[in-house]
Structure 1
Amino acid sequence: MAENVDAITSLESVPDALRHKLTQALCDSRKMNHHFLNLLASKSPTEIRVLQLDQCGRCLPDYVLYATLNNLPNKLSALTNISIKGACRLSDAGLKALVTSASALRSINLGCCSLLTSDAIIILADKLGSVLKELYIDECFGIDAKSIFPALLNLQHLEVLSMSRSESVNNSFITQFVAVQGHKMKELVLADCTRLTDRAIKVIAESCPGLCAIDLTNVCKLTDASLGHLANGCETIRTMKFSCNTFSDEAVAAYLEARGGTLTELSLNHVDKVAHHTALSLAKHAMKLQSLDLSWCREMMDEALGLIVDSCLSLKMVKLFGCTQITNVFTHGHSNEYAKIVGLQESQILKNIVVPDLLPLRYSSV
């Protein structure tokens, strides 16, 4: 069906589960187009609550969106989650038309929507200020953090803010933002925001007591002091991503000793110094850990990895890409049959890759 999408004339009798698989297949193969989008919108369903069109790219310019919205009168009134990551032809005007039709939106992912400007966030605040809880604007290079600051403060119930690769995010922006919104924040994604320093992390730790997840991947100016701030201030973090930073083995171990007991997901990808101390702390304190990424951590040897995997019995996934030092002593020697090891030469990588579905809100009920 995906290979012959232009020949499909109706989806009226196609079950929802099959529509979902077909839509995902088209998006993954970059064959999603306005013809199929209009088929999805016409006649049924009578109500849409979740809409995921990631990588829809060229098929969603404003004129197609307007036509699709015309085919969906009143069907978007219950829409709570939408992801149109990669909609590179969507403009501020198109986004305004969309959120005007979907006034109940709680979560919106606009990552890599390259035509959007700061005005887009002002529009969101105006239309959805009293309901929006999750905002993802990763790699939206036309959006300036300073320009959208007043609009972000008007998002009264914001819990998740994702702004990875935003060159305009700096210490001043973070300090001012969390001073007002920090007590509500559950997740902050600041990967590749390379202007941030320990000062910003200290303010986050002091102002976000309910934070459950933080991504600090490649925030390259951070030092071990940041881990101390997070250990002292954020007691509820379940997902921690430290990847591509220069933290010491001792500092990571100390953080895990203090807060490892709450973690379910940890990424230390390319934190090159982690080794024996980190392994001991993980084995002793990370009993709830389900996902661990130690890719390119080449100081982590067979015995240390074996101790981690055999001690952390909740582990379901361990990623070890680039760990050429690991031998069969580990792969055939550990006793945790439930932990999938991904990234080593003999592991079946593609078999373990799961494309996530767009789910209801991460931290709140709809």
Structure 2
Amino acid sequence: MSAQRTMTTTINTLMRQLKAILAYVVRSYASSSKPIAQEAKHPEVMVFKNYTPIDLLPFDGNGGPYANFAGHDASRGLAKNSFDGDMLTDPKDSIDKLEDLTTEEWESLREWEQHFGSKYLFLPDELQLKILAQLPIPDLLKATVVCHKWNELVYEGSLWSTINVTPFYKTIPIESILKLIKCSSRFLKTANFRGCIQLTGHGLRTLSEYCPNLQVLIIKDCRGLSAASIAHFLQRANELKVLDVSGLDTMKNSSLTSTSLNKLERLNMSWCRNMTGSGILSMITICTSLRYLKLNGCSQLDDITMSSLGTYLPNLSHLCLAACTSLKDSGLSSFLKNHSAFHLTHLNLSSCAKLTDVSLRNIAIYSTGISHLELAGCVLMTDLGFTFLSPRLRSLVHLDLEDLQHITDITVKTIANHQPHLVRFCLSNCTQISDDGIAHLVLNGICRELQHIELDNCTITDGVLKSIAMYLEQQQSKLTNSSLFTFKPRKINVEVLDCSNITEIGVKEALAKASPMLTIKSFYSFQSEAVSTTHDDEVDNIHRHHSGAQTRRRDPSAGQHHGSGNCIIL
């Protein structure tokens, strides 16, 4: 019995201990059910900065083993395993080409490159090219002297789909041009050498040899080119779509005899004084895809050439014939009759002094899709021609009638009554235009989209400015008081330079009434701005002298100074 009692006591003791352990475990689990929140830490940021050798010149290396190389190209010293001073090159000189290194020295240099590549962060070539592609051309060329690697990457062809020497066209040497052409190779699509007289016939021949995929070429005013080199290039420019050879006396009829420009869409041959009608004929029979043609200053446009332009160029939408002094009504008529009525949208006939009202009638009949029409200097055109044109050609957006001395308010009113899309209207030096015609144009006509009116050297007075200002003020008032925006507010810019009947008081009163909806460009605008600027500069100087603080210029549109806020400096 005693043994059995002892066994029972032992079992009870064990059970109590197990219960205590279980209770402790349960309590511990319950107290730790919520995980301890740890604050998130951003990974360490690594900041990179690129240095040129010249930037590193002040760095002394703290007496380290490579201190000699600080700010210099270390390639030669590493190749020869020498830290001597004569192994260094001046960082301001061109990069060391290492042409005299032996095979063993090249191998040593590669080993050093591998050593540093494994020790320091290395960007793949693809990423470096993407970074270099964001640089403008002057900075890109400067990067060639940083190191051998960058010199190699900068002249990678994929970076040179466009060559534009405009920022340094006067200073870039022909050697640099040739190197760019050769490295760009098949990647080059656009080349702009405008005004670069260093470009020679050899450069143009190199361009045709290395860059067969070129689509845009601008060689305007490149007077170092010969007729033979231009012809050689055009014979091989199978992919060319845009060509600008304006201003080249070396552009002759022979340059176009055997071209392969069947993909050409835009051509500018303005002021090529040695081009005649026969040369233009040989060109247009090949370039049948032309949409834009500029022949300004071509003095030998006869009726046969104009007729062929209409026949062979059915897709032509932009035609510029300004200052073609030989162009007559019969020649323009031949072109218009043979060309599609709706394709032509832009026509520039400025300074074609032999054109008369007959041409206006032909334009109205045969070209009903024109939106931009420039007739400045066509001095033989009169009210009769425009009263016939305007009701039949109602798509005009831009109309330039500068120097047409024979037109009167009759022309202005008929245009006002029939041109709902007109945005820009030039009547400068039309001395028979009066206040009545301009007031009708703005107040009573249907030209609700008109934004810009040029009236330089006209006989208008302050009255027309006042009428326009009152009209715009009323429109603004209606817009402010109306809960429904049934129309959009108009903004009109008026140019009245050299108008002897326009006074300073008239300009200021008009602007005070209608600003900012009305902008006036006049002689008094220039004076007002000059006086205001001088006064502000004086105030600035006084404040800098006495307190060292800079005075911010007044907002011209603030307060009551409406005149200076909307006057344009000439």
Taking structure 1 as the reference length, the TM-score comes to: 0.76
Q: CA deviation at 1:176?
A: 3.8
Q: CA deviation at 1:337?
A: 5.2
Q: CA deviation at 1:139?
A: 0.9
> Whose radius of gyration is greater, 1 or 2?
2
Aligned equivalents of 1:40, 1:330: Cα separation in 2: 58
CA deviation string 1:247-297 (max 9, x = no partner): 1023223212210x2112211111112221221122222222233222211
**Residue in structure 1 matched with residue 197 of structure 2 by the alignment:** 58
Match of 1:152 among 254, 263, 284: 284
Question: Which of structures 1 and 2 has the larger relative contact order (alpha carbons within 8 angstroms, sep 6+)?
Answer: 1
The 5 Å alignment of 1:174-213 reads: 174-178=306-310, 180-208=311-339, 209=341, 210-213=343-346
Q: Are 2:321 and 2:348, in contact at CA under 8 Å, matched by a contact in 1?
A: yes
The CA RMSD measured in Å over matched residues stands at: 3.7
Q: What is the total number of aligned residue pairs between the two structures?
A: 332
Aligned equivalents of 1:227, 1:147: Cα separation in 2: 28
Aligned equivalents of 1:332, 1:17: Cα separation in 2: 49
**Residue in structure 2 matched with residue 133 of structure 1 by the alignment:** 265
Q: CA deviation at 1:109?
A: 1.6
Match of 1:295 among 411, 414, 428: 428
Is structure 2 residue 301 aligned with structure 1 residue 169? yes
> Could you say if the C-alpha distance between residues 102 and 319 of structure 1 is closer, same or farther in structure 2, counting changes exceeding 3 Å?
farther
Q: Are 2:303 and 2:334, in contact at CA under 8 Å, matched by a contact in 1?
A: no
Match of 2:385 among 245, 251, 264: 251
Match of 2:373 among 229, 240, 250: 240
Greater CA drift, 336-345 or 80-89: 336-345
Match of 1:265 among 367, 380, 398: 398
Aligned equivalents of 1:309, 1:225: Cα separation in 2: 29
Q: Are 1:170 and 1:193, in contact at CA under 8 Å, matched by a contact in 2?
A: no
Secondary structure in 2 matching 1:252 = helix
Q: Are 1:319 and 1:343, in contact at CA under 8 Å, matched by a contact in 2?
A: yes
Q: CA deviation at 1:340?
A: 3.1
The 5 Å alignment of 1:1-366 reads: 13=132, 15=134, 24-26=166-168, 34=174, 37=177, 47-54=187-194, 56-66=195-205, 73-74=210-211, 77=213, 79-96=214-231, 98-99=233-234, 102-123=237-258, 126-128=259-261, 130-178=262-310, 180-208=311-339, 209=341, 210-245=343-378, 246-259=380-393, 261-309=394-442, 311=445, 312-321=447-456, 323-331=457-465, 333-334=467-468, 335=472, 338-342=491-495, 344=497, 345-346=522-523
Unaligned runs of 5+ in 2: 1-91, 96-128, 139-161, 473-488, 498-521, 527-567
> Could you say if the C-alpha distance between residues 32 and 193 of structure 1 is closer, same or farther in structure 2, counting changes exceeding 3 Å?
farther
Secondary structure in 2 matching 1:116 = coil
Unaligned runs of 5+ in 1: 1-6, 354-366
Identity %: 17
Q: CA deviation at 1:151?
A: 3.3
Q: Are 1:89 and 1:113, in contact at CA under 8 Å, matched by a contact in 2?
A: no
Aligned equivalents of 1:9, 1:315: Cα separation in 2: 58
Greater CA drift, 89-98 or 157-166: 89-98
Secondary structure in 2 matching 1:263 = coil
Give the AA of the match of 1:247: M
> Could you say if the C-alpha distance between residues 195 and 40 of structure 1 is closer, same or farther in structure 2, counting changes exceeding 3 Å?
same
Q: CA deviation at 1:338?
A: 3.0
Aligned equivalents of 1:120, 1:26: Cα separation in 2: 28
Aligned equivalents of 2:276, 2:415: Cα separation in 1: 39
Secondary structure in 2 matching 1:93 = helix
Aligned equivalents of 1:215, 1:222: Cα separation in 2: 12
CA deviation string 1:116-147 (max 9, x = no partner): 11122224xx221x211222211101112124
